[in-house]
């Protein structure tokens, strides 16, 4: 290899390396703000892992001495390679390995746990990618293929199959195991796209990837040969064709030129031409890029119909367009290879089937097993608040502004000020927001003066409101709030439902069933008062209370569980007194919610949000006589209480959820406002 060849390949390796920045921009811009930092750290982490593991294991499996055309057996964690050419080749191939690994990041964004992502990356770069790469690309010292696919005549010039389809196949396997993001598909089955945090950043990423692709395809000539200009021209033309056809087909079917499909159509065209850019002329490149753009559009829509959630479209861009590129070699490149179209198409199809079985199906089996041992998905609570904060503790100016707003909505503390700066958009919002707060403070002061003049009327109003609303809520309304609505970042909701009450009510006189409700709910009211919790409402034979909403309790979750244990005890005691079995089902969940007062003729204080829905669904799926709780509850109070996994169920409107049974406290006694309770030893059932 001449000096100019070495310089060219190293330059191309640098261009391929820059594609990592492009992937990061694409993924960070297309994900929601609360997850974009998580995507960025995944990109730099997977590249770093892939380089080191490729040096330690992958390169040897891929290009070491072949064992029956199946895998390499030398050059593991090499100390030196001997020749400069070998180092140049390793650096170039390491960039390809990093590209295959990072394809996964965008597909699994917004719900894959960081530790799980690193494990999947390690599996990809130490086993899946290098083994298939050996089958397709490994050669002996004379340059003759030694992998079984290469010997058979399989052609993949720059990695449409080896890099992109393999990486996309692993991405498909991962998103099938993980499942869709919360809220991605409505109950009706209709898909819903989330707004990306910065689409111009995504477009910049596409340009960076496109620019880096000149190194991807141009460097695969393994020298600055006369073939390079044609390779670069085909790369340029196919990408442009993919953009226009992606835009065009979205314009026809969606009645608007989609930015998403314009960008991904271009990437699909680039992936498709990669397999045979050394075989085609410009006319074929235009056609192959155009079909690549169409494959991306229809592939993405097919995944949506199957309720498969691919955040950035990685499967349609890399896996499906990569397979199309391999197929195009057999359709248009046989003459350049000196073979018949039929025979070349046959071996290309064999390669396609191998990729599907090895990377997609094999990857799915591996990840399904891994998910049983090491859950790949973050908890629902972390997914709700975002992986930036939930996994990495990475706050932003926007989050800080939201926190101030939420505290003010909860505490009515208008003296607090938002972070402000004239140099950032969020800082400017904070500046104007603080100006509004200043005016609100002045207005509030004037309102207080008016309230003094209306003291007698307000006292009457307060008496009336306290008879129908929680005292603290009534007080806030009397302070001048015509509308009560709070966004609570953390609270605990509990649903209690009497088991088989309908059958009981049908078998006794109405007075008896009403008496049972009155007496039992009266006991519940005493428990709620004892624990300083808030009763929200009763609906039929259901009773709902909440902690951490109308007053601040740092341990509100544990308090709510203690109250639930007491309710179980009181229910069973009443059943013993009646001479019949009396049971309730209890569902508990913690998380953010919205609380407020509604109604004109009659005020009602109520709660809304996924936390309320989750607690209700857990109660419905729970076991009579048991306290059923979500993962979020167990994460908070697991060390204080005895609990065990109850089941994994599919909750309506929520999806697959693990439910736990809480058996009791681990301590001998628990303290209430009235003293120490009289039951619950650590080895005693409820």
Give the Cα separation of 21 and 12 in Å (integer).
15
> Using CA atoms, how far apart are residues 32 and 29, in angstroms rounded to an integer?
8
Q: What is the topology classification, in CATH, of domain 484-676?
A: Alpha-Beta Plaits (3.30.70)
Whether the pLDDT of residue 669 is over 70: the answer is no
Which residue has tokens 């195009």? Answer: 328
Q: How confident is the model at residue 179 (pLDDT cuts 50, 70, 90)?
A: very high
Residues contacting residue 149 through CB under 8 Å, at least 6 positions apart: 135, 136, 347, 350, 351, 354
Pairing of strands 655-665, 641-651: antiparallel
What tens digit of pLDDT does each residue of 617-640 get?
999 998 999 999 999 999 988 788
pTM of the model as a whole: 0.62
pLDDT score of 367 more than 80: yes
Q: Which CATH superfamily is domain 3-388 in?
A: Ammonium transporter AmtB like domains (1.10.3430.10)
What pLDDT score was predicted for residue 674? 42
- Helices vs strands, H then E, count in the chain: 28, 12
Q: How far apart are CA 534 and CA 671, in angstroms?
A: 18
Calculate the average pLDDT of the chain: 88
Q: In the chain, what percentage of residues exceed pLDDT 90? A: 62
Cα–Cα dist 184/595, whole Å? 25
* Residue 471 pLDDT greater than 90, yes or no: no
pLDDT in tens, 485-528: 888 888 999 999 999 888 888 888 988 889 999 999 999 999 99
Closest listed residue to residue 270, CA positions, set 326, 210, 355, 206: 210
Give residues with Cβ within 8 angstroms of 255, minimum separation 6: none
Locate the domains of the chain by residue range: 3-388, 396-453, 484-676
Q: How confident is the model at residue 425 (pLDDT cuts 50, 70, 90)?
A: low
680 has a pLDDT exceeding 50: no
């Amino acid at each position: 290899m001449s000096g100019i060849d070495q310089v060219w390949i190293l330059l191309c390796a640098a261009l391929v390396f820059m594609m990592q920045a492009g992937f990061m921009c694409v993924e960070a811009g297309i994900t929601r703000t609360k997850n974009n930092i998580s995507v960025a750290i995944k990109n730099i982490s997977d590249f770093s892992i892939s380089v080191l593991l490729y040096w330690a294991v992958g390169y040897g499996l891929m290009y070491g001495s072949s064992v029956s055309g199946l895998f390499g057996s030398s050059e593991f964690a090499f100390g030196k390679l001997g020749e400069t050419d070998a180092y140049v080749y390793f650096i170039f191939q390491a960039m390809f390995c990093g590209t295959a690994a990072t394809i996964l990041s965008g597909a699994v964004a917004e719900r894959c746990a960081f530790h799980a992502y690193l494990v999947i990356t390690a599996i990809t770069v130490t086993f899946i990618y290098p083994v298939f790469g050996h089958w397709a690309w490994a050669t002996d010292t004379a340059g003759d293929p030694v992998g079984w696919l290469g010997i058979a005549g399989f052609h993949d010039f720059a990695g449409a199959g080896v890099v992109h389809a393999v990486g996309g196949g692993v991405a498909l396997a991962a998103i099938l195991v993980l499942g869709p993001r919360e809220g991605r598909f409505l109950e009706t089955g209709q898909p819903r796209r989330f707004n990306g945090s910065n689409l111009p950043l995504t477009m910049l990423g596409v340009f960076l990837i496109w620019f880096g692709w000149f190194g991807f395809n141009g460097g695969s000539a393994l020298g600055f040969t006369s073939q390079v200009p044609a390779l670069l021209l085909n790369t340029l033309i196919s990408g442009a064709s993919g953009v226009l056809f992606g835009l065009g087909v979205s314009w026809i079917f969606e009645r608007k030129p989609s930015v998403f499909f314009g960008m991904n159509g271009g990437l699909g065209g680039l992936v498709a031409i990669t397999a045979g850019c050394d075989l085609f002329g410009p006319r074929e490149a235009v056609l192959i890029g155009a079909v690549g753009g169409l494959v991306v559009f229809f592939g993405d829509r097919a995944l949506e119909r199957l309720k498969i959630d691919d955040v950035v479209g990685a499967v349609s861009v890399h896996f499906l367009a990569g397979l199309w590129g391999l197929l195009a070699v057999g359709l248009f490149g046989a003459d350049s290879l000196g073979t018949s179209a039929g025979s070349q198409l046959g071996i290309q199809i064999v390669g396609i089937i191998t990729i599907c079985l090895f990377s997609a199906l094999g990857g799915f089996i591996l990840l399904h097993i891994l998910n049983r041992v090491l859950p790949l998905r973050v908890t629902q609570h972390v997914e709700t608040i975002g992986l930036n904060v939930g996994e990495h503790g990475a706050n932003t100016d926007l989050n800080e502004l939201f926190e101030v707003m939420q505290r003010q909505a909860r505490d009515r503390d208008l003296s607090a000020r938002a972070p402000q700066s004239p140099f950032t958009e969020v800082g400017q919002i904070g500046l104007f927001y603080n100006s509004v707060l200043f005016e609100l403070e002045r207005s509030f002061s004037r309102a207080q003066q008016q309230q003094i003049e209306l003291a007698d009327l307000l006292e009457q109003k307060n008496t009336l409101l306290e008879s129908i609303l929680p005292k603290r809520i009534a007080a806030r309304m009397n302070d001048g709030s015509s509308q009560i609505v709070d966004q609570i970042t953390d609270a605990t909701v509990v649903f209690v439902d009497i088991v088989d009450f309908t059958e009981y009510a049908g078998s006794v006189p109405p007075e008896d069933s009403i008496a049972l409700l009155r007496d039992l709910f009266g006991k519940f009211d005493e428990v709620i008062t004892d624990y300083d919790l808030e009763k929200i409402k009763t609906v039929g034979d259901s009773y709902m209370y909440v902690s951490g909403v109308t007053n601040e309790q740092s341990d509100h979750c544990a308090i709510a569980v203690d109250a639930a244990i007491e309710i179980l005890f009181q229910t069973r005691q009443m059943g013993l007194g009646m001479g019949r079995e009396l049971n309730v089902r209890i569902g508990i969940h913690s998380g953010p919610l919205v609380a407020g007062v509604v109604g004109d003729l009659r005020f009602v204080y109520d709660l809304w949000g996924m936390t309320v829905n989750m607690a209700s669904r857990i109660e419905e799926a729970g076991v009579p006589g048991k306290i059923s709780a979500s993962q979020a509850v167990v994460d908070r109070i697991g060390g204080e209480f005895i609990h065990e996994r109850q089941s994994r169920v599919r909750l309506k409107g929520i999806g697959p959820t693990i439910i736990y049974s809480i058996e009791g406290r681990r301590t001998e006694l628990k303290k209430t406002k009235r003293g120490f309770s009289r039951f619950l030893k650590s080895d005693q059932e409820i």
